Amino acid sequence: MANKIVGRATAAIMLPLLGSFIAACSSAPAGEESRATEAEALKSAPVSIAKTTDGIQQASAPAGAKLIYRGGRVISNVQVVPVLYGSGTYISQVSSTSATAGASMFSFYRDITVSTYFDWLTEYNTTISGGTNQAIGHGTAVTTRQITPAASRNGTTITDASIQAELCAQLSAGTLPAPTHDAAGNNNTYYAIFFPKGKHISLGGTPSCQAGGFCAYHGTVASCGGKGEVYYGVHPDMSAGSGCDTGCGSNASTFSNQTSVASHELVEAVTDPEIGIATVIGPPLAWYDATNGEIGDICNAQLGTVSVGGFNYTVQKEFANRCGCIVTPPIVTPPAGACAHSVCATGGSLTSGCNSCVTSICSVDPFCCNTSWDSICVGEVSSICGPPYTNCAEP
Ligand SMILES: [Zn+2]
């Protein structure tokens, strides 16, 4: 099945996998950005992300992949609101609203947002120059809500515009909890919308669960009457016969395929929530690779497992600039040797020769030893230095 996405929002393309992967940090990104202004072509507005991987299993991130901060918001402490879009048939784990009945989509969001899978997203804090000054921390989930959409917005095929309108209508009516915000007023809430069997989604003409279509996407409502920006994810049913039962993950369990896709969209929403209203490679995009897309796209269809809350959840690997495609970053503290500070921490310039890693980096990037050991130098640790520096811990 050809998997291709062209959408205003960003979408997950999940491909069949032959097996799952354990957490690893073996694929160092080779990408290196010019310290000068990044040269890149603006994509035609609105932002579109087209990826065709045609079922080829990627063992690592594409060469040169690197998420670059574009100036937009992230989500500080995500509050996930799982939403069932109307009546109909859902897989039991999706429709479950019980907090105790075993693994469910609700428990997935509740647990994954306090897991190690979330911890490493601090790499994408925006407490940096020109940033929105947000630190990404743990999140929460509220129990799953079921809405009753207007009939006009609940046909066999439902457009993204209808989903946005319905979401705003439910917020106005108070049947869905209003968005919550961090102390600085940045939106924290993410509505993860699930659809029953037989519903087809159209995102700007691109269909769900068909060849050339998508498995899921996340988007942004610019303004929901009085509620401000709204972040949401769209998840069509993936059960047998849906079309998303092939091409969106090869687990025997539909639920595992759904959590994999859901993890992709969730972490993208956290690190790039405003993409749905972005029109250029710049603000309000947040962490975005002009070639490879968002954090989930770079590692599309590479699976792993997160054990948290008493359950083993299937997730998709997400991209760490320092490590490549990972589930959980290995925490390794490289020896500083005779250096003034850790190579994993930004700071003053280091002296070539203080350890082998610094020597290697400064031989190709003298800035790091002449001017300062900035975030690019830190980023080069994983791509240039060998073990034990390969697995660069958080500074
Ligand atoms: Zn994506």
375 exposed, middle or buried (CB, 10 Å; 0-12, 13-18, 19+)? middle
**Percentage of residues in the chain with pLDDT exceeding 90?**
63
Say what the pLDDT of residue 391 is. 53
pLDDT tens track for 213-270: 999 999 999 999 889 999 999 999 999 999 999 889 878 899 999 999 999 999 999 9
Helices (H) and strands (E) in the chain, counts: 8, 18
d(CA 128, CA 147): 39
* Mean pLDDT, range 70-99, rounded to an integer: 95
Least confident range of 7-16, 275-284, 287-296, 349-358: 7-16
Distance 106 CA to ligand 1 centre (A): 21
Say what the pLDDT of residue 138 is. 96
Distance 272 CA to ligand 1 centre (A): 10
Which residue type sits at 382?
S
Pairwise pLDDT comparison (388 vs 320), residue with the higher score: 320
Distance 339 CA to ligand 1 centre (A): 39
Distance 312 CA to ligand 1 centre (A): 22
Distance 373 CA to ligand 1 centre (A): 31
The pLDDT confidence band at residue 329, using thresholds 50, 70 and 90, is: low
Collapsed DSSP state (helix, strand, coil) of residue 112: helix
Distance 248 CA to ligand 1 centre (A): 12
Distance separating the N- and C-terminal Cα atoms of the chain? 42
Tokens of 264: 């992709």
Chain centre distance of CA 322: 16
209 sits in the region (left: phi over 0; alpha: psi -120 to 50; else beta) called left
* Mean pLDDT, range 357-369, rounded to an integer: 92
Angle at 65 between CA 60 and CA 70, to 5 degrees: 145
Distance 324 CA to ligand 1 centre (A): 16
d(CA 51, CA 394): 30
The domain limits of the chain are 10-30+46-326, 331-395
The DSSP call for residue 305 is: E
d(CA 77, CA 272): 14
